[in-house]
Amino acid sequence: MTPEQLRAHIETLCPGARRWFVGYSGGMDSHVLLHMLMAIPDRPEIIAIHVDHGVQAHSVMWARHCAIVTSTFGIRLIRESLKLGSAASEALMRAERYLAFERHCRPGDVLLLAHHADDQAETVLLRLLRGSGARGLAAIPVTRPLGGATICRPLLGLRRDQLFSYATEHALKWMDDPSNNTPRFDRNYLRHQVFPLLESRWPGCVEAFSLSAALSRDASRLLDEFAEQDLKTLVDYNRFSEQRLAISAWEALSRERRVNTLRFWIESETNVRLNADMVDTIIRSIIYSRPDADARLALGRHELRRYRDHLYLLESIPVTQPDACRIEPDKAVKLGEAGHVCLHSAPDGIRCGSEYQIRFRDPGIRCKAAGRVTRTLKDWFQEYSIPPWRRHCVPLLFIDGELAAVADLFVCEGFVAGSQETALRLQWMPDD
């Protein structure tokens, strides 16, 4: 691939990029990519990012090498120093590396990485050994989002030996990571022990693995399209703007579509990758939990909870109960994270009083809706399908010290305005 072909490839994959960031480790692959990019005339600004995971004692030498190379090219180098320790797993290093990349890339930027066809083949085989389905076997995507930026892997169609030929032809000097020969890492074991045997028997196996990844990606996209169609009838929002999935409608799907839809919904909203065991746990322990179990499952910054016939996908940040406050007719009051309330004039509704106050749940409060029986607030909240995690933020209107209305759900006995009386209505807007 010539620099001109590389530029055309990048612009096809990520048109209109503002800046080109390069994940630069100092090894052969990323050095080849950076060298090819520097040969492109009239290119966007190039910025290299070097991530030191803090795993190896000699990593300072790598950082110095990267600084020398980028200085020679006349481009900026961003250095990220992590302190993960020598026992860090491949998965942890990868996750922290991408978080470091995301800290610097902005919308409109492209992060160029030097993954190649051999990396793709290793990933496919690793996913096979973990029992992955179509989504997992799609392996390394050519492009994917990174926050508001885009990751692009323009060398994914090239073999490692092609990059080596380019490096030797241009007399490039790179750093060899000794940990690449450590067999305790699964990828290294495949690279040095397994793939030489596979290629001696099946010379085209790397290309075959890449083709399988491409076919799996097509199948995965088709599964996603099915899931998106199913979710149109399964997912909605309650009055708190909380996303929820209707369990009864979901159960009417085939087993395969249930699993596919559930996985797609959760992964697309949380960016948490689910394996088969996690999906099984969600179905068994959350969806089919006892009604009184209050089961929940944390997923990154989100959590899953079931309430009645819905599975809720919530942000993990709890909504705190606001303080009591006074309210005046025709003036809106902000209730912190619980939204706003407004007590406004209406042709019918709540009779007027002298003093108006908004309070919140008290375990000892019992009340009687107009024309109904006396019940606890918990019973009323259950009748009006207020989820347990929202009940402490339901505004209670007190008029002259007495409970007159529960949010905009109902007016209490004795506070319904007569036909000739001036009336008020409490409007609650919990979606802030």
Q: What is the DSSP letter of 416?
A: B
Per DSSP (E only), the strands in 223-299 are 235-237, 243-246, 296-299
Which of 77, 66, 75 lies closest to 43 in space, CA to CA? 75
The residue whose two tokens read 């600084």 is 67
Q: What angle do CA 40, 36, 4 make, to 5 degrees?
A: 45
Mean pLDDT of 40-58: 85
Mean pLDDT computed over every residue of the chain: 90
Angle among Cα 233, 235, 236 to the nearest 5 degrees reads 105
- Is the pLDDT at 432 greater than 80? The verdict is no
138-164 burial by CB neighbour count: b if 16+ within 10 A, else e? Answer: bbbbbeeebbebbbbbbbbebbbebbe
- How far does the chain reach from its first CA to its final CA, in angstroms? 53
Selection from 118, 120, 136 nearest residue 128 by Cα:
136
- CA 177: distance to chain centroid? 32
CA distances from 35 to 5, 330, 350 (A): 14, 67, 75
Most confident segment among 282-286, 290-294, 322-326 = 282-286
Query: What one-character DSSP code corresponds to residue 414?
Result: T
Q: Give the Å distances, CA to CA, from 82 to 52, 56, 92, 93, 95.
A: 6, 11, 11, 9, 12
Helix, strand, coil percentages, rounded to 5, for the chain: 40, 25, 35
- The residues, ordered by sequence, that sit 6+ positions from 133 with a Cβ below 8 Å of its Cβ are 276
Strand positions, DSSP E, 352-401: 356-359, 366-368, 374-376, 396-399
For 223-315, CATH gives 1.20.59.20
Q: Compute the distance between CA of residue 380 and CA of residue 389 in angstroms, rounded to an integer.
A: 15
pLDDT in tens, 197-213: 999 999 999 999 999 99
Residue 327 has pLDDT above 60, yes or no: yes
The pTM of the full predicted model, rounded to 2 decimals, is: 0.76
Nearest to residue 116, comparing CAs of 143, 154, 151, 90?
154
pLDDT confidence of residue 57: 66
Higher pLDDT, 265 or 186: 265
Where in the chain are all domains bearing CATH 3.40.50.620?
Answer: 3-116+139-186
**pLDDT of amino acid 96:** 85
* CATH homologous superfamily, domain 3-116+139-186: HUPs (3.40.50.620)
Element (H, E) at 295: none
Going by C-alpha positions, the residue among 237, 245, 265, 270 that lies closest to residue 431 is 237
pLDDT at 29 over 90: yes
188-222 b/e with 16+ CB inside 10 Å = b?
Answer: bebbeeebeebeeeeeebbeebbebbeebbeebee
- Pick from 120, 28, 145, 22: which is nearest to 76 by CA? 22
How far, in Å, are 24, 86, 194, 254, 313 from residue 181 at the CA level?
20, 15, 13, 46, 43
For position 338, what pLDDT does the model report?
81
For 382-401, the pLDDT digits (tens) are 999 999 999 998 999 999 99
CA-CA distances (angstroms) from residue 33 to 3, 52, 97, 100?
Answer: 10, 19, 18, 20
Residue 21 · residue 110 · CB < 8 Å? yes
Write down the pLDDT at residue 87.
67
Local confidence band at 181 (pLDDT 50, 70, 90 cut-offs) = low
What is the average per-residue pLDDT within 181-209? 88
Residue 378 three-state SS: helix
Tell me: the pLDDT tens digits for 155-180? 999 999 999 999 999 999 988 876 66
Looking only at the bridges linking them, the beta strands covering 143-146 and 110-112 are unpaired
pLDDT band at 421 (very low <50, low <70, confident <90, very high): confident
**pLDDT classification of 216: cutoffs 50, 70, 90:** very high
Rounded Cα–Cα distance for residues 101 and 54 (Å): 16
Report the pLDDT value the prediction gives residue 318, as an integer from 0 to 100: 74
Q: Kindly tell me if the per-residue pLDDT of 410 is higher than 90.
A: yes
Residues of the chain with CATH 1.20.59.20: 223-315
CB 172 within 8 A of CB 31: yes
Average pLDDT over residues 224-232: 96
Residue pair 426/397 in contact (Cβ under 8 Å)? The answer is: yes
Of the ranges 88-92, 307-311, 338-342, 358-362, which one carries the lowest mean pLDDT score? 88-92
Instruction: Specify the pLDDT at position 3.
Output: 83
